[in-house]
Amino acid sequence: MPSASGGVRKQYRLGVIDRSTLQAELQSRWAKLRGREDPNTRIGAETPGKRLSFWALDGIDLDIFRGERVGIIGANGAGKSTLLKLICRITAPTEGEIDIWGRVSSMLEVGTGFHREMTGRENIYMNGAILGMSKAEIDACIEDIIDFSELRAFIDTPVKRYSSGMFVKLAFSVAAHLQSEIMIMDEVLAVGDMAFQQKCLTRMREAAEAEGRTVLYVSHNMATIRQLCERCIVLDHGKVLYDGDTEHAIAAYLDQSLGGSDVDLDLGARSRPRQYTERAVTMTRLCLENKVTAVYVPGEELRMRLHIHVERPVPRLCVRLSVRTDTDVGLATAWSEPFAADRPGEMAVMLTLPAGSLAKGTFYASIGLCRRDEIGSMIPCDHITRAFRFEITGSPLWNTHAYSYMALPEMRVDTIK
């Protein structure tokens, strides 16, 4: 068992550090010294709107075994990177314990420790040493590293003359050849060309399968998670939401925000991105008309009834609907024509989307309201990411792996000869 964690929590304080923080700190210490109650914790508890700190990780218990390829997914701010930082010992947990058997090599960002003025070869030695290898170990595999990076011609040139793609290739090659038992990666594959990405994924699979190394991989790219990981952990607000096989985990991650029913959704209680706390208009309910389940045949129109609570009148309001795939890739966005929401209170609109170009697959729709101002620009008023899910049952002949999710209009043919 290369890694185990028990009750790990990590707290961060909010706001800037200045004279007032020193004052608060001294107050707390002085109170503690006299055996009194800490005055600052009480302030924090009484005014919930102005918290002094938050828990980035809130009670994580995990056992990860040797040779496992584990993906970690979750929305931004779920605590993925914090968890990796604790395992890599970049910062210490506030509570709890972590036990690690074996050496850990981390690639939290590409080119960590690269120096612009040094050549590629010198940087390989430098980077290897930073990641804990001895000179002899690097000597033994430097040829492999150079071959893997495909940069032999440039290896004695200072890296400041490299393109960013070359930079990543070199950095990844060093990390992939480290003699460590546990490899930790945070979105390192986001850059670099497709062929190299595939090569890296293959290399990491091999490392896990043949050499028994453990891989922890954080990414927002569900396709690479699917390809690499056999087990996946979904984090949400610092807690483990799901831990198990990858397909279920990805479904759990994508569905975590959905309500109970498929076709009649209570939007009022759903969480919004932070910038939408003060809303003039709020989406309260969304019904998929005349549907029992959210399944459509290709060419069928999506008819939706959207209920809106109007706080302050908006003369020209538009609905924005963005469609993403089940691999969390953005596909397309549809706008509604503007309509008036000029009386405070409740109102409802019927939306009809001809979705004929969506060929087959499971889709997630994010829905938002925008106000169109005098000069025609759109100002977002409300937004819910992945508000609902729907499925389009395409022809069995349509292979989504080969043809993707959308059908373009049929091509016209004119016989020339």
Find the part of the chain contacting other proteins (CB under 8 A) among 79-87, 281-289, 317-325, 332-340: 79-87
Q: Which is nearer to other proteins, 108 or 407 (CB)?
A: 108
112 binds other proteins (CB under 8 A): yes
Residue 123, classed as helix, strand or coil, is: helix
Q: Which is nearer to other proteins, 23 or 395 (CB)?
A: 23
Give the relative orientation of helices 164-176 and 120-130 as an angle to the nearest 10 degrees.
40
Find the part of the chain contacting other proteins (CB under 8 A) among 68-76, 105-113, 366-374, 389-397: 105-113
Find the part of the chain contacting other proteins (CB under 8 A) among 28-36, 82-90, 208-216, 222-230: 82-90
Site for other proteins in 180-239 (CB under 8 A): 181
Q: Which is nearer to other proteins, 94 or 400 (CB)?
A: 94
Q: Tell me the CA distances in angstroms from 415 to 224, 290, 412, one per residue in order.
A: 43, 44, 10
Find the part of the chain contacting other proteins (CB under 8 A) among 113-121, 194-202, 280-288, 383-391: 113-121
Q: Which is nearer to other proteins, 162 or 363 (CB)?
A: 162
> What is the secondary structure of 154-215 as a DSSP string?
GTTSBGGGS-HHHHHHHHHHHHHT---SEEEEESGGGSS-HHHHHHHHHHHHHHHHHH--EE
88 binds other proteins (CB under 8 A): yes
Please identify which residue in 30, 101, 335, 403 interacts with other proteins, judged by CB under 8 A: 101
- Maximum CA pair distance of the chain? 98
142 binds other proteins (CB under 8 A): no
115 binds other proteins (CB under 8 A): yes
Between the CA atoms of 159, 164, 169 and 171, what dihedral angle is there, to the nearest 10 degrees? 60
Give the containing element (helix H, strand E) for 376.
none
- Side-chain half-sphere exposure of 230, counting CA atoms within 13 A: 12
339 binds other proteins (CB under 8 A): no
Of the candidates 348, 389, 345, which has an alpha carbon nearest to the alpha carbon of residue 367?
389
Tell me how many degrees the CA angle 252-407-356 measures, rounded to the nearest 5.
Answer: 80
**Rounded distance, CA 269 to CA 258, Å?**
11
51 binds other proteins (CB under 8 A): no
Beta bridge partners of 364: 324, 389
26 binds other proteins (CB under 8 A): no
For 345, which DSSP code? E
Q: Closest separation between CB of residue 34 and other proteins, Å?
A: 24
Please identify which residue in 92, 153, 297, 375 interacts with other proteins, judged by CB under 8 A: 92
Please identify which residue in 61, 63, 97, 144 interacts with other proteins, judged by CB under 8 A: 97
What would the x/- binding string for other proteins be over residues 147 to 186, using CB under 8 A? ----------------------------------x-----
Q: Tell me the CA distances in angstroms from 371 to 276, 312, 342, 347, 381, one per residue in order.
A: 13, 12, 12, 16, 7
118 binds other proteins (CB under 8 A): yes
Find the part of the chain contacting other proteins (CB under 8 A) among 99-107, 244-252, 281-289, 366-374: 99-107
User: Which strands form 182-186's sheet, in the order they lie side by side?
Assistant: 104-107, 182-186, 214-218, 69-73, 231-236, 239-245
Site size toward other proteins, by CB under 8 A: 43
103 binds other proteins (CB under 8 A): yes
Q: Which is nearer to other proteins, 152 or 160 (CB)?
A: 160
Q: For residue 204, with 0-12 CB atoms within 10 Å meaning exposed, 13-18 middle and 19 or more buried, which class applies?
A: buried
67 binds other proteins (CB under 8 A): no
109 binds other proteins (CB under 8 A): yes
Q: Which is nearer to other proteins, 15 or 244 (CB)?
A: 15
Give the containing element (helix H, strand E) for 46.
helix 39-46
Of the candidates 213, 154, 147, which has an alpha carbon nearest to the alpha carbon of residue 178?
213
86 binds other proteins (CB under 8 A): yes
65 binds other proteins (CB under 8 A): no
List residues near other proteins by CB under 8 A: 12-13, 17, 22, 85-104, 106, 108-109, 112-113, 115, 117-118, 122, 125-126, 129-135, 181
